[in-house]
Structure 1
């Protein structure tokens, strides 16, 4: 499993947010949503302008049934996608948010 590679890296350098993001992404891909959430939240809280962990955290929250918590995170990610000119993520986020309404 890819997550094991990043678990080792996080264990060696727990303050490295790139390792935390990669671990969260790997756990998400492995459908280990509850495990991914902790690492993605840390990334979201580390930088106000980091879009990708917000997208994944929002998706994690949707997968775990916490739509109320997911919506503002996904809206924040959409604002970042627009400001940073990331058209594909913006389109994906609009679609997700539209489905939540």
Structure 2
């Protein structure tokens, strides 16, 4: 049985402009522990939709796992701005906590 990432990879191959397929592929890759492969798909989602909070959250968290806090900070801050504007209280609180936990130099 094919993995979820294989399923979504096929959909992305057929429709590379579809951000929802890319986001689903990125989520599947993250769930399979393949964050490095998820990164470009999350970046594309962020680039194509300025109002989409979730790819920024996932990419920011991934960059923290990859020990790239300086890169993560800007994405998490952007996601926080979106969370507040869109009135998503729980993600806003989580994002604020993540940002507060970053070292000052990040």
Residue number in structure 2 paired with 1:21? 23
Residue number in structure 2 paired with 1:85? 87
Residue number in structure 1 paired with 2:32? 30
What root-mean-square deviation, in Å, do the aligned CA atoms of Structure 1 and Structure 2 show? 0.9
Q: Give the counterpart of 2:55 among 48, 53, 56.
A: 53
- Paired residues, what number? 101
Q: Which has more helix, going by share of residues?
A: 1
Deviations 1:64-93 (A, max 9, x none): 111110001100000000000011111111
Residue number in structure 1 paired with 2:72? 70
What SS is found at the alignment partner of 1:93? Answer: helix
TM-score, normalization by structure 1? 0.95
Structure 1 spans left out of the alignment, 5+ residues: none
The alpha-carbon deviation at position 47 of structure 1 amounts to 1.1
TM-score, normalization by structure 2? 0.91
Q: Rg larger in 1 or in 2?
A: 2
